[in-house]
Each structure stands twice: as structure tokens, then as C-alpha cells.
Homo-oligomer: A and B are copies of this chain.
Amino acid sequence: MRKLFQEDLHNLGDQLTDIAVLVSEAMEKAYRAYETADVQLAEEVIAADTRIDTLQNDLDEKAIELLALQGPVAGDLRLIVGALRMSTSLERMGDLARHIAQLVRLRYPDPVAPQQLVDVYRQMAEKDIQIAKKLVELLVTRQVDLVAEIAALNEQINELHAGIFTAIAADNWDASPSATVDSALTSRYFERFGDHGVSVAKKVLYLVTGQWEAEPTA
């Protein structure tokens, strides 16, 4: 019985990893669709998001079943509750990738981003994708050094996000009102994606070390 339960907990971890892999792919494709105004790829991302939602529901049902059948305590209990929370954040990251793809579809055949911001969005997207990939690695390896790396990438995204708002407020900003809104929303989606990534990373850190913040390295 006890051994089976450990296997169940392990499976829960695998399910989280599977979702994180899909989220990472979703953001990669969403950004590629965004960069190239590829409406077919955007549709793919939008359709694939229901798969993430289904996997999240499956994981949540499994977690609740384990709570019911095993009455876990201490570390095991925190792990299961942690998995429930992480799945919520990962599902939300999938939604944000979908929002990017929906902007592509809405504006097609035009590109969403004004030319002058293309490079900033590329940087934001690349950092988001790095965060998602590091999350997968973190879930698999429990290598907690990755948490600080994820937090650092998120800080960089926050700075790029602030830069977008500065660009929009500048005198030489000449995009249409709709493009202005799209620019701000795109930036916000990329920025929120990173925030949720940090939130998942911190939960892993907590489960592994019992600490909410990474120890300062000596």
C-alpha cells in the first residue's frame, strides 16, 4: 500500500511535468505564430489549450482521490496540495499562450506588433520560453538552483514590460489605438506568464527545501 502511494505521488509529479512540457510548447508556437502572423499555427495553439485544461482536470481529480484514499500527512500532504496549486498556475500559463495566439488570429493577416516593438517582444518571448523549459527541468530534477535563474529571467521580463509602456507614452509613438492596445496586452501576457512561472518554481523550492526563498549563495 505504502509503496503504491509513493508511486502515485511520483505519477502526480510526472503529470505536472507533462503539463509544463505542453505549456512550454504552447508559448514557443504562440510566439512563432505571433512573429510570422501564422494564423494556422495560432489556431493550433488555441486548439491545443483544451488538452492542457483536460490534463489539469485529470491531475486535480487524481490529487483529490489521493487525499481521500490515503489521508496523507506532512510532506506528502504538502506535495499533493502543492501539485493542485502548481497545476492551476500552469493552466493559467497555457491560457496566456492562447491569448497571444488569439491576438494573432484577431489581427490576421496583419501582424499584431508594431515594427518598432518586434525586438522587445522577441526578447520577452525568449525569456518566457526559457522559464517554461527551466520549469520542466526543475520539475524533473528538483535542481533548486533553477529557481533563482527563473526569478532572474522574470525580472528581466518585468524590465522589458516597463519599457513597452515607456515606448507607448513617448512622443514618437505613432501606432493606431488598436495596435496600441494590442501592444500593451501582448506585453502584459508575456509578463504574467513569467510571474506564474516564478510562482510554480517557488512552490517546487518550498516542497524540496521547506523554504519560500532561495538561500543567498555564499
Which of B71, B165, B177, B183 meets A175, CB within 8 Å? B177
Interface string of A64-89 (1 = CB under 8 A from B): 10011001111001100100110010
State the Cβ distance, A57 to closest chain B Cβ, in Å.
Answer: 11
Copies of this protein in the assembly total 2
Q: Does A208 contact B (CB under 8 A)?
A: no
A68 x B73 contact (CB < 8 A): yes
**Distance in angstroms between the alpha carbons of A85 and B92 in the assembled complex:** 14
Q: Does A169 contact B (CB under 8 A)?
A: yes
**Distance in angstroms between the alpha carbons of A67 and B79 in the assembled complex:** 12
B168 x A178 contact (CB < 8 A): yes
Interface majority SS on A: helix, strand, loop or mixed? helix
State the Cβ distance, A1 to closest chain B Cβ, in Å.
Answer: 15
Interface residues on A, range: 20 to 34
- In the bound complex, residues from chain B placing their C-beta under 8 Å from that of A77 are 64, 67-68
Q: Interface on A for B, CB 8 Å cutoff?
A: 64, 67-68, 71-74, 77-78, 81, 84-85, 88, 165, 168-169, 173, 175, 177-178, 180-181, 183-185, 188
| A–B pairs, 25, beta carbons within 8 Å | A67-B77, A68-B72, A68-B74, A71-B71, A81-B84, A84-B84, A84-B85, A85-B88, A88-B88, A165-B178, A165-B181, A168-B177, A168-B178, A169-B177, A173-B177, A175-B177, A177-B177, A177-B180, A180-B180, A180-B181, A181-B181, A181-B183, A181-B184, A184-B184, A185-B188
